[in-house]
Structure 1
Amino acid sequence: MPEVSTQTRSIPVPGGQLELSWAAATDTGRRRDVNQDAVMTAFPLFVVADGMGGHLGGEIASASTVDRLRAVAESGQVSTDAIEDALAAAVTDISLHPETTDEGTGTTVTGVFLDVDGDEPHWVTLNIGDSRVYLVRDGSVVQVTTDHSVVQELVAAGRLSPEEAENHPYGNVITRAVGPTEGVTPDYVRIDIVDGDRFVICSDGLTKELTDYGILHFLGENPDPAAAVTAMLEAALENGGRDNITIIVLDVALRETPGAPAS
């Protein structure tokens, strides 16, 4: 088990302070020889990538994508345009690598960033593939991102129930990825900043082993992000650990300044 620690950041916003705390971990799991997942928590961008491809292809694809996105985060200029430029550069990186020649090489990329441009700061989720962003608000958990997968398309078309989808033989087949022959435009969702929100960003190695209810349970039992990540990772491993498992928990606290206009 990796050691997990909680990091914090305080950001001034109109009317007060935004207090963020987060933790992340990635684990090979119990059935895979290598970890093809990659994770990045570089404020204001938090990302999980789940690579796929023979030999080292998936590992290279996810690492290349995260490296390009880390440069965006470190520049301090995180925007949808900057993210798409970084993903386009990652596609080039992947295609030029001698060990990413398999047709199926690529990676998911899923995450959330804090957008402070404009009058109203807000969150933006991004997604390509079937890794996920969940939002826990007011005691309920909601999957914010929509999987780009064959199974999700069947569910959306009414040809498969969510229950049938859980064990479908095409459960691992995704329809969009960052790779040499794929597009690089993510889906985006804007989310208002709300005190008490908790985000979970994860690869499907977690959701193969824990239901949405299970995620909500472990978050409720563990208010500290590092403890929540550790508890979910342990449970996923105990439930089989059939794939690489990567988890970020990001907590949001909005502290309004007395007498200041509400944000």
Structure 2
Amino acid sequence: MTATSDESVQPAVAGVRVDVGVATATGRRDSNEDSVLAEGGVYVVADGMGGHDAGEVASATAVGTLRALVGTVPELSQVVDVLRGAHERVRDLPSHSSRRPGTTVTGVVLTEHEGLPCWIVLNVGDSRTYRMVGGVLEQITTDHSEIALLVARGLVPADVAARHPRRHVVTRVLGGGASEVEPDVWLFPVSPGDRMLACSDGLTDELTDRRIQAELRAADGAQEAADRLVAAALSAGGHDNVTVVVVDATVPRR
């Protein structure tokens, strides 16, 4: 269940140390189409699109492209450029049907802005990135999905969205049939006690945000938190691949 990450490759941001936990499971699927990158200040999860050709190749291609950010202190524009490059590489993958390979991607990159350590949160698709500080969990990313649009427009109640038949239809991915992609990126300071979570929808399909928060609160370290979340998703049904990256950051107090 536990995947590997190279915690010896710490971020290049001065004074920041991280504790990283990575866990993944195939669930009830035949293979695991999720990919992960967790080293050198880059902590992302990519979920190859189910039903598309070579989803596992698409997700691996995306995180392989994002590896260019490892050990750097990038600007927002650099992260956007790398994501657009990942889109082009996934889009160029060979396909043997009318459905092109595609993948979601979400997570965080550590950087600096005006002398302060900051998170760059990135997202394309319906995988998610959360932040927990002071024991309170907050979803940072916005799902790029049909159901998220329907909820935002008041056409579907939020409490039934998790059971809606269109909940897995994504509106934005790396690759697929679109010629271009517009990734979401956010920048905000790292706070003492930040616990960041990036996950594929195999976690959020099975666990409510309240349950995710409880599991994160119960774990002392990042690896324990990652293992607890994946185990809970499997116990709840584990219908899909589930992958999580948990990042605890320690920053010097000013």
Asked if Structure 1 and Structure 2 have the same fold, meaning a TM-score greater than 0.5 normalized by the shorter chain, the answer is: yes
Q: Structure 1 residue 73: deviation in Å?
A: 1.8
Q: Are 1:88 and 2:89 matched, yes or no?
A: no
Q: Are 1:248 and 2:250 matched, yes or no?
A: no
- Paired residues of 1:7 and 1:22 also in contact (CA < 8 A): yes
Equivalent-residue separation in structure 2 for 1:195 and 1:235 (angstroms): 27
Mean Cα deviation higher: 119-128 or 48-57 = 48-57
C-alpha spacing 1:173/1:245, structure 2 compared with 1 (3 Å)? same
- Paired residues of 1:57 and 1:105 also in contact (CA < 8 A): yes
Amino acid at match of 1:66: V
Q: Are 1:103 and 2:116 matched, yes or no?
A: no
Equivalent-residue separation in structure 1 for 2:83 and 2:12 (angstroms): 27
C-alpha spacing 1:10/1:157, structure 2 compared with 1 (3 Å)? closer
Amino acid at match of 1:21: D
- Paired residues of 1:54 and 1:102 also in contact (CA < 8 A): no
Match of 1:37 in 2: 34
Gaps of 5+ in 2: none
C-alpha spacing 1:72/1:141, structure 2 compared with 1 (3 Å)? same
Q: How do 1:222-241 and structure 2 match up within 5 A?
A: 222-241=219-238
Equivalent-residue separation in structure 2 for 1:170 and 1:98 (angstroms): 27
Equivalent-residue separation in structure 2 for 1:92 and 1:4 (angstroms): 27
Match of 1:119 in 2: 115
Q: Structure 1 residue 12: deviation in Å?
A: 6.4
SS in 1 for 2:251: strand
Q: Structure 1 residue 248: deviation in Å?
A: 0.5
- Paired residues of 2:53 and 2:99 also in contact (CA < 8 A): no
Q: Percent identity?
A: 39
Amino acid at match of 1:39: V
C-alpha spacing 1:98/1:239, structure 2 compared with 1 (3 Å)? same
Equivalent-residue separation in structure 2 for 1:189 and 1:66 (angstroms): 19
Equivalent-residue separation in structure 2 for 1:180 and 1:77 (angstroms): 30
Q: Structure 1 residue 83: deviation in Å?
A: 2.7
Match of 2:151 in 1: 155
Match of 1:259 in 2: none
Q: How many residue pairs end up in the alignment?
A: 252
2:141 to 138, 141, 145: 145
SS in 1 for 2:177: coil
Gaps of 5+ in 1: 257-261
SS in 1 for 2:174: coil
SS in 2 for 1:109: strand
The normalised TM-score by structure 2 is: 0.90
Q: Are 1:172 and 2:188 matched, yes or no?
A: no
Equivalent-residue separation in structure 2 for 1:106 and 1:3 (angstroms): 22
Q: Structure 1 residue 188: deviation in Å?
A: 1.4
Amino acid at match of 1:72: L
Q: Structure 1 residue 6: deviation in Å?
A: 8.8
Q: Are 1:191 and 2:199 matched, yes or no?
A: no
Q: Are 1:25 and 2:23 matched, yes or no?
A: yes
Amino acid at match of 1:240: G
Amino acid at match of 1:82: Q
Equivalent-residue separation in structure 1 for 2:40 and 2:237 (angstroms): 32
Equivalent-residue separation in structure 2 for 1:223 and 1:214 (angstroms): 16
**Larger radius of gyration, structure 1 or 2?**
1
- Paired residues of 1:28 and 1:245 also in contact (CA < 8 A): yes
The normalised TM-score by structure 1 is: 0.87
SS in 2 for 1:91: helix
**1:215-242 Cα shifts (integer Å, max 9, x gaps):** 1111111111111111111111111111
Amino acid at match of 1:185: E
Equivalent-residue separation in structure 2 for 1:104 and 1:89 (angstroms): 17
Mean Cα deviation higher: 44-53 or 87-96 = 87-96
Equivalent-residue separation in structure 1 for 2:156 and 2:247 (angstroms): 32
Equivalent-residue separation in structure 2 for 1:5 and 1:94 (angstroms): 23
Q: Are 1:130 and 2:126 matched, yes or no?
A: yes
- Paired residues of 2:13 and 2:73 also in contact (CA < 8 A): no
Q: Are 1:68 and 2:65 matched, yes or no?
A: yes
